[in-house]
Every structure is written in structure tokens, then in C-alpha cells.
Amino acid sequence: MQYIPNILFIIALAAGVGYFTFNIRKIIRNIKLGHQVDASDNTSERWGNVVRIALGQSKMVVRPIPGLLHIIVYVGFIIINIEVLEIIIDGIFGTHRVLSTVLPIGLYNFLIASFEILALLVLVGVILFWTRRNIQKLKRFWANEMKGWPKNDANYILYFEMVLMILFLTMNAADQQLQTLGATHYVEAGSYPVSKFIVPFFSNFSETTLIAIERGAWWLHILGILVFLNYLYFSKHLHIILAFPNVYFGKVVPKGKFKNLDSVTKEVKMMMDPNVDPFAAPAEGANQAPAKFGASDVMDLSRFQLLNAYTCTECGRCTSECPANITGKKLSPRKIMMDTRDRLEEIGKNIDKNGEFKPDGKQLLDDYITREELWACTTCNACVEACPVSIDPLSIIMDMRQYLVMEQSAAPTELNVSMTNIENNGAPWPYNQMDRLNWKDEN
Amino acid sequence: MAEYMAQGKKPEVLFWVGCAGSFDDRAKKITKAFVKLLNKANIDFAVLGTEESCTGDPAKRAGNEFLFQMQAMANIEVLNGYEIKKIVTACPHCFNTIKNEYPGLGGNYEIMHHTQFLKSLMEEGRLKVEGGKFKGKRITFHDPCYLGRANGEYEAPRELLQKLEVELVEMKRCKSRGLCCGAGGAQMFKEPEPGKKDINVERTEEALETAPKIIAAACPFCNTMMTDGVKAKSAEDSVQVLDVAEMIANAEDL
């Protein structure tokens, strides 16, 4: 009978980790719907980016206040995880504060004290985040695409973190009082600079009540963490994991460099080669359907672009720097990312249900992202620069423009005119090519 | 360039004029100012003249990869035919395209934006500029997206302005966070989507907040957008929009 808590714990842990793994595999499967990207170049620069941008949060602090708050919550989150390790060992083996028996007591006390201080800081940080969102109502959190689920999602995450921190401190406070009472199993260990202020509230409680509070908080805390872990998949909060690979795969060439389509290069070279035989039979193996130009749905995007979509945490820094969005156009780079993820999830569910993707008469273009949004972009790279985790919304916009122009000939009329001009007279305006040097003789 | 080739000579640098610099009346003034500076510094340069064609930037950014690569390869044929090694241009869009997108298609050149080139001339002592008529004047600089964010060059134009001993005042959104003028991505050639304001007006308002005598630009398209913005705010009597090269040339009444 005495092993029932251990068994229950192992079951909860296995279920939590198992379901999370199940969903992560689904994400990987969905991302693999995109075409492969080659990121074997610039390995050292890529790792440097991971260290600087992802671990070091270098782009977060471009905006100092949210940047600093985010660093507090982030550092707190990572370091408090050492405590979770102890909780897991205790849970499996039925020990109590096992690290205090392994580590020198001074170090253990130091660790617990720093967890407590960080927990308090995280609590304060999260409350301030909540205030910025709900009281101060910062504009970027109240844009059109943030209605409904995205808005609630953001708040749920904050509530989760608040509750977890309060449970952690409550558990420690009850533990201290039990240590003072000399309850069996409660070894004297730890230093509690924050939760000691909660202890007075527990001073009249009996040992049984205290054990109930301590155990209750302990169980809720770890179950809460497992639930939160599994909440990630359904939430924008996946960035805590995906930010790292996303930054690794991020663009390492100048932002102004857009990729050249190889399929087009082949065609153009053939056109310009006077020795090419126009009636030649296609080479062996070359008779597969020509690649589609650009993107109309998520399968036409790259795996990096799809990873971008899962990584986006909807902070809206991109949108708040976007010249089109600032001046009231429909385009919002954040919405491009959210739409891409929503469509990818829809296709994922379709595959879950049918075993393979069954055409559903929908696509990313028009059903999610409108042409008006795509044509409002100035390709200025402000969104790419603003993203703290190296997401590239511009590349999706460009791929979709390519589809519109090259597959559908659906450019805005004025652009068709200027492209015709480029074709006919080598400039976007209808000037005579022979007048190109006229400036030389003008005053 | 054809004349150089005929004489069996090679210029030190090819000046890529660009469509705006060749045809647009406002941008032609920038071209002429830059040429004055090249002549003053005794630079042996050539232009392609009627053999130059659009780099393909607006086509590519509009999504027409096919037209872009047609333009690019035709230009590369011409450039490689003349064995061009070094190019300078006054247009950040041409600069970006030749620098980043031509190498993959067989066009490898050392390319500089004209602000970078002028800066290097000053460092080598081939061009001297000190003060002049803009000394002490309040001036703000608008970063072109395709020079700044796209290629990380924020300092060259600013260093040139420092040489003119102007009082450089930065806008709130500058350098890596500079706001686009609204012309990029082929927007120059179409009407904007419906919204509450034009981007160039938003940017001009920000520039005017710094109470400048001159808004300095380094891109012919930004120049047009900001000039239109200044007109829209009826500020054309008190504020000028000038290219950095024009300012240097004007400083000494070249």
C-alpha cells in the first residue's frame, strides 16, 4: 500500500511525457509536409546565433522593459527546473528532498533560496505581463488577429505560471513548519527567504493539516507542470522549445538576399543558350511534373517556414514595426504566421482522420491569407528584424506573391504594366531604352 | 563602356546608373551630382549607357521570378562580356540585387553603394570634403531599407554627413528599426492598399518632428517618397529632400 503514491506518480509522469511526445511527433510530421531546406552551411554562425539570440535573448532587449521581464521569467523557468528534477526523483522513489542528502547542505540551501527568489521574481514578472496585456492594453496585444483564442491563450499561460509559482512557495512554507515541528520524513534542509513570510499563516495548523497542504501543493505543482507541458502543443507557448531550432535554421545571409528559383534558372538558361535544341527529347527522369512556382498552400512552403509558424508566440513585435500595418493596411506579419500554423494544423487533423491528406477544397491563399494582405508588403524586412526568434514572415509573403504572379498571372494591374515595361524597354517606366544616357548631356 | 572596350582600356569602376537615375528627372540630378564627385576625385569610370537594363529587383519583389532572372542573366552577360570587376551604384535596390542575387546566377562583382564608395574615397584621401554650406545645419537621415536592414550598412552615409559637419538628428525609428518610405517591394509602381494613411506621409511626419532643414536620403525611390511626403505636409518651402551625394556636391558648389 505504501507504494501507491509512487505508482500514481509514475503513471502521471508517463502519461504526461507520453502524450507530449505523441504531439511533438505530430508537429514533426506536419513540418515535414514542407520541402526540405539545406542548413548545412555556416554551422558556427548558426550555433553563435543560438547562443546569442535564443539563449542570450539579444533581440528581446531591443525593447528593454518587456525584454528584461522576459529574461527574468525565462531564467526563472530554466533554473526552477532543477527543482522539478528533485520532485521527479522524490516522486518515483518516495524520498523527500533527495538532493539535500546528495549535495552539500550549503549548496542545497543556496539552490532552494535562489529558486524561491526566482519564483517571486517570475510571479512579479508574470503579473506585470498580465497588466501590460489586460490593463495597459498595449496595442500589439489587441490587434484584430488577437481576438478569441489567441487572447485567452496568452492569459491562460500567465495564470498557469502564477498558480505554479504560488504552489511552489506554499509547498515550501508548509515544509518549513513541518520541519520546525519535527515531523518524520521532513528533513531539515533548505533556506527559504521568500516562503518564510507565508509560514506565520500556518503556525496554528496541526501536523496532519500541514502534511495535507504540503502534499497537496506538491502534487498540484507537479501535475500542473505536466498539464502545462501538454498545453504547449495547443498553444502559442511552443516557442520555449522551438525557439532554439528555429534560430539555428534562421537566415544567415543578408536580409536583402531572396532565394533564386533553380527551376526558373534552368528555363532561362535554356532560352538564352543558342545551342540548345528546342526539339530535343527530355532527358531520362526529367519527365516529372514541373515544380509549382511559389506557394498557395502550406505544402508549398519550406520546413523552416512551417517551423516558423509553430515557433511564433504571437508577441506582435513584427506587426508593430510593419509600415503597412502601422498605416492601417490589412497586412500583419504576425497574422501570416498564425494563419500558416492554423492551416497546417487543419491539414494535420485531416491526415489524422483520413490516414493521408484528402483535398478539402481549401488552401492557405484566399481561405486564410488574402491577396490584399500580400500586396501591401514593402519587403522592408522590419518584421524579420523585429522577431526575437528569427522568424521570416516576409519569405512566406514572397512565395505567395510568386504563386500569384507566375501561376495565376494575378498581379495588380499597375504592376503588370511596369513588368511589361521591364520586358519591353528594360525599365519599370515606359521610357525609351535609347534615352538611357540622356542625363549625360542635360543640365 | 563600349568605347572603353574599343580602346582596349578598362575603367577603375563601372557606375551602374539604374532606371531611376537614368530616366527620373529628380533622380537624374543625383546621378549628375555623383558624376561630378567622381570627376572631382579623378575616378576613371564608365557607364553601360544603353546597354544597361533594369536589374530585375521590382520584378522579383513583385513575384515575377522569371522576368527577374531574364533581366539578371542578360545584365550578367553584358557585365561579364566587359569583364567588369567593380561596380558602384546610387540605388540601394540595384546594389542589393547585384550584391546578393547575381552571384547565384553567375555574376560576381565587387559592388558598393555610392555612400560606401564616397566614404572609401575620402578615407584614401582622393576626395576631400570639409564643412561647406551645410555646416551646422540640422539634418536628419532616412535609412533606405535595402542599404540598412537588408545589408547592414548604416554608417557610411552618416559618416559622410559628419564630414559635412552637419548637426545630425536621428528620427525615433532609425537604423535597424528605421521605417520604410513605402516604395520597396515594387510598391513604387502601384497604388497602396486601402488604409488610414500613406506610408511616406507617416515617415515624413516622423522626419519633420526632428525639425530638419534637410531630409537626407540615399536612395532615389526614398527620395521621391519623402519629397512627395514633404509636399503632402506643405513643408516644401522649409524642408528639402536631398541625396547624400547631392549634398556633398552642393556643399562646394560643384
Residue B200 phi/psi, 5-degree rounding, is -65, -30
Q: A401–B73: do the CB atoms touch at under 8 Å?
A: no
- What grid cell was written down for A388? 526575437
pLDDT tens string B28-82:
999 999 999 999 999 999 999 999 999 999 999 999 999 999 999 999 999 999 9
What predicted TM-score, i.e. pTM, was given to this entire model? 0.94
pLDDT of A64 reads: 94
Residue A252 CA to residue A249 CA, distance in Å, equals 8
Residue B113 CA to residue B147 CA, distance in Å, equals 8
Q: At what angle do helices B199-209 and B220-232 cross, to 10 degrees?
A: 80
Percent of chain A whose predicted confidence (pLDDT) is above 70 = 97
pLDDT tens string A378-394:
999 999 999 999 999 99
User: A76 with A206, same domain?
Assistant: yes
Is residue A9, in this structure, part of any structural domain at all?
yes
The answer to whether the beta carbons of residues A96 and A185 sit under 8 Å apart is yes
Chain A contact set for B22 (CB, 8 A) = 427, 431, 435-439
Q: Looking at chain B, which residue has its C-alpha nearest residue A295?
A: B63
Exposed, middle or buried, B123 (CB in 10 Å: 0-12/13-18/19+)? Answer: exposed
- What grid cell was written down for A191? 533556506
Is residue A240, in this structure, part of any structural domain at all?
no
Q: Looking at chain A, which residue has its C-alpha nearest residue B99?
A: A257
pLDDT category at B252 given cuts 50, 70, 90 is: confident
Residue ranges per structural domain of chain B: 2-122, 128-251
Chain B contact set for A433 (CB, 8 A) = 50, 53
Is residue A282, in this structure, part of any structural domain at all?
no
pLDDT tens string B70-117:
999 999 999 999 999 999 999 999 999 999 999 999 999 999 999 999
- What grid cell was written down for A77? 523557468
Residue B83 CA to residue B80 CA, distance in Å, equals 5
Share of chain A residues as helix, strand and coil, in percent rounded to the nearest 5:
65, 0, 30
Residue A93 structural domain? 4-38+49-234
Rounded to the nearest integer, the mean pLDDT of chain A is 93
Q: B58–A418: do the CB atoms touch at under 8 Å?
A: yes
How far, in Å, are A68, A213, A432 from residue B16 at the CA level? 46, 76, 18
User: A401 with A253, same domain?
Assistant: yes
Residue A188 CA to residue A170 CA, distance in Å, equals 17
Q: B150–A260: do the CB atoms touch at under 8 Å?
A: no
String of DSSP letters for A350-380: HHHHHSSPPP-S--HHHHTB-HHHHHT----
Residue A334 CA to residue A311 CA, distance in Å, equals 11
Chain A contact set for B47 (CB, 8 A) = 437
How far, in Å, are A312, A338, A386, A396 from residue A308 at the CA level? 6, 10, 14, 10
Residue A41 CA to residue A150 CA, distance in Å, equals 36
How far, in Å, are B31, B47, B220, B251 from residue A443 at the CA level? 12, 18, 18, 18
**Domain containing residue A330: CATH number:** 1.10.1060
Rounded to an integer, the average pLDDT of A76-90 is 90
Q: Which fold has domain B128-251?
A: Rossmann fold (3.40.50)
Same CATH topology for B2-122 and B128-251: the answer is yes
pLDDT category at A291 given cuts 50, 70, 90 is: confident
User: A213 with A347, same domain?
Assistant: no
Local structure of residue A63 (DSSP, 8 states):
S
- Residue B224 in this model has a pLDDT that exceeds 80: yes
User: A65 with A157, same domain?
Assistant: yes
pLDDT category at A184 given cuts 50, 70, 90 is: confident
pLDDT tens string A90-108:
999 999 999 999 999 999 9
User: A170 with A267, same domain?
Assistant: no
pLDDT of B194 reads: 94
More confident residue, B130 or B1: B130
- Residue A193 in this model has a pLDDT that exceeds 90: yes
Q: A260–B17: do the CB atoms touch at under 8 Å?
A: no
* A343: nearest Cα among A373, A379, A305, A315: A305
Rounded to an integer, the average pLDDT of B7-24 is 92
User: A161 with A21, same domain?
Assistant: yes
* CATH classification code of B2-122: 3.40.50
Residue A195 CA to residue A116 CA, distance in Å, equals 7
Residue A376 CA to residue B185 CA, distance in Å, equals 9
Local structure of residue A232 (DSSP, 8 states):
G
